[in-house]
């Protein structure tokens, strides 16, 4: 029963493999193993071309490494990384970018760690449906990423030290015919507020003014979810903020939640215990005091939030935005191209999590 539910959740994303194979992603169902598949599977990896065991790439400071350069039509189905670096916060210093069909600006731009839900620069193990971190530093992504003509995926070292070993495996399909014309492209965008600006008010917030913004997208598509990490700058509960989604230019949100832990499908400050499930979790939970670190995620694979013109996805930082904690997030969505310009990625030193106690 659970397997069937998860299959339906994946199918809800309406991805190209479903269209190619008659309505369900073949790799997601044991029942489909008896049916032929209309694709050729490839892998772009860091294996040692000499036949030896040096199955990695070094990455000097300032250098860019191309992980995938493939012709379409196709679809990336799995991304796996593991990284050997002794530089502190290398997960925040390495930047992942993905370009579809020759676009000049990436559809994915985010620090590597944040992309996998590790937004405070440290590793921890958890499992969700589209993202997971295996023992001990195995970074996995199963978001399908279709492309009609070409795909290019890179990682750039914005740190000060060489990455001794960057291991990668990217599995992707090649199709013999074009993808459906209405196929949507995968996007992921990093944002941060370090810190948020605390707002003094009458405690009312109807229109989302001063909310933390996960993404402001333009085009047609659907919102698939978000990962977010928090560094508390003051004692007590940071998560009294409501999520608010503004669809197609709304001035008042048509989707309005009841609290941060509620949006991430926990309750009562997450009960002080970490948890990680297929579509939601709080795998990093701490005491409610300054310096505490939290990481949470929510994926809308059961019912992605659709938009035809635009989507502004936001959340309050504290009740009516009365707290000034540090937020770091990555939003994941699918949409038509072209996409709206992304905010400029903050300089690497600004991305590192630093306590700002004077701001609360």
Structure tokens at 262: 């509620």
C-beta neighbour count of 222 within 10 angstroms: 19
| Residue 76 scores a pLDDT above 90 | yes
Supply the mean pLDDT for the chain. 92
Structure tokens at 133: 């971190």
**Is the pTM for the entire model greater than 0.85?**
yes
Closest CA relative to residue 175, chosen from 149, 143, 144: 149
CB 103 within 8 A of CB 110: no
- Tens-digit pLDDT profile for residues 140-186: 999 999 999 999 999 999 999 999 999 999 999 999 999 999 999 99
| Residue 18 scores a pLDDT above 80 | no
CB 224 within 8 A of CB 300: yes
Q: Across residues 252-261, what is the average pLDDT?
A: 97
| Residue 360, pLDDT score | 60
CB 234 within 8 A of CB 323: yes
Helix or strand or coil: residue 133?
A: strand
Closest CA relative to residue 303, chosen from 206, 192, 186, 224: 224
CA angle (128, 329, 166) in 5-degree steps: 70
Helix or strand or coil: residue 91?
A: helix
| Residue 14 scores a pLDDT above 90 | no
Structure tokens at 94: 């390495």
| Residue 30, pLDDT score | 86
In terms of C-beta distances under 8 Å and separation of at least 24 residues, what long-range contacts does 53-57 make, across chains too? 55/167, 56/84, 56/165, 56/166, 56/167, 57/165, 57/166, 57/168
| Residue 32, pLDDT score | 83
> pLDDT > 90: what percent of the chain?
89
| Length of the chain as a residue count | 360
Structure tokens at 358: 């004077």
Local confidence band at 26 (pLDDT 50, 70, 90 cut-offs): very low
- Tens-digit pLDDT profile for residues 279-338: 999 999 999 999 999 999 999 999 999 999 999 999 999 999 999 999 999 999 999 999
| Helices assigned H by DSSP within the chain | 2-11, 16-20, 90-93, 112-115, 260-263, 348-351
| Residue 80 scores a pLDDT above 60 | yes
- Tens-digit pLDDT profile for residues 92-148: 999 999 999 999 999 999 999 999 999 999 999 999 999 999 999 999 999 999 999
| Residue 145, pLDDT score | 98
DSSP 8-state secondary structure symbol assigned to residue 61: T
E strands within 47-183?
A: 57-59, 64-71, 74-84, 94-100, 108-111, 126-127, 131-134, 138-141, 145-147, 150-157, 163-174
- Tens-digit pLDDT profile for residues 265-284: 999 999 999 999 999 999 99
Rounded Cα distance, 127 and 332, in Å: 17
| Residue 358, pLDDT score | 65
Local confidence band at 357 (pLDDT 50, 70, 90 cut-offs): confident
Closest CA relative to residue 281, chosen from 50, 290, 294, 293: 294
Query: Is pLDDT larger for residue 99 or for residue 358?
Result: 99
Domains and CATH numbers, the chain: 2-174 (2.60.120.1390), 185-359 (2.60.120.1390)
| Residue 198, pLDDT score | 96
> pLDDT > 70: what percent of the chain?
91
Q: Across residues 244-249, what is the average pLDDT?
A: 98
Pairing of strands 108-111, 185-193: parallel
C-beta neighbour count of 304 within 10 angstroms: 21
| Residue 291, pLDDT score | 97
Residues with Cβ within 8 Å of residue 42, at least 6 apart in sequence: 70, 171, 172, 173, 174
């Amino acid at each position: 029963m659970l397997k069937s539910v998860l299959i339906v959740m994946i199918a809800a994303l309406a991805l190209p493999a479903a269209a190619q194979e008659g309505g369900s992603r073949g790799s997601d169902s044991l029942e489909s193993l008896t049916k032929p598949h209309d694709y050729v599977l490839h892998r772009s990896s860091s294996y040692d071309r000499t036949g030896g065991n040096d199955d990695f790439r070094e990455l000097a400071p300032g250098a860019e490494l191309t992980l995938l350069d493939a012709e379409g039509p196709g679809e990336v189905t799995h991304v796996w990384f593991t990284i050997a670096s002794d530089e502190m916060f290398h997960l925040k210093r390495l930047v992942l970018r993905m370009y579809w069909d020759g676009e000049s600006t990436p559809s994915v731009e985010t620090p590597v760690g944040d992309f996998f839900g590790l937004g405070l620069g440290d590793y921890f193990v958890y499992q969700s449906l589209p993202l997971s971190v295996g023992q001990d530093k195995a970074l996995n992504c199963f978001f399908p990423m279709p492309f009609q003509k070409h795909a290019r995926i890179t990682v750039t070292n914005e740190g000060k030290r060489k990455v001794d070993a960057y291991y990668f495996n990217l599995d992707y399909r090649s199709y013999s015919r074009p993808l459906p014309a209405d196929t949507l492209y995968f996007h992921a965008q990093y944002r941060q507020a370090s810190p948020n600006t605390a707002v003094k008010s009458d405690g009312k917030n109807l229109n989302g003014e001063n909310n933390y913004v996960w993404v402001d997208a333009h085009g047609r598509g659907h919102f698939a979810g978000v990962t977010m990490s928090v560094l508390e700058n003051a004692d007590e509960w940071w998560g009294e903020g409501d999520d608010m989604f503004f669809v197609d230019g709304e001035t008042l949100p048509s989707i309005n939640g009841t609290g941060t832990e509620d949006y991430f499908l926990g309750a009562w400050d997450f009960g002080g215990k970490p948890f990680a499930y297929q579509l939601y979790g709080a795998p990093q939970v701490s005491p409610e005091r300054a310096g505490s670190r939290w990481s949470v995620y929510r994926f809308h694979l059961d019912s992605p939030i659709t938009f035809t013109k635009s989507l502004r996805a936001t959340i309050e930082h504290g009740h009516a935005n009365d707290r000034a904690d540090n937020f770091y997030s990555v939003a994941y969505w699918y949409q038509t191209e072209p996409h709206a310009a992304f905010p400029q990625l903050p300089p690497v030193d600004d991305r590192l999590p630093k306590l700002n106690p004077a701001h609360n």
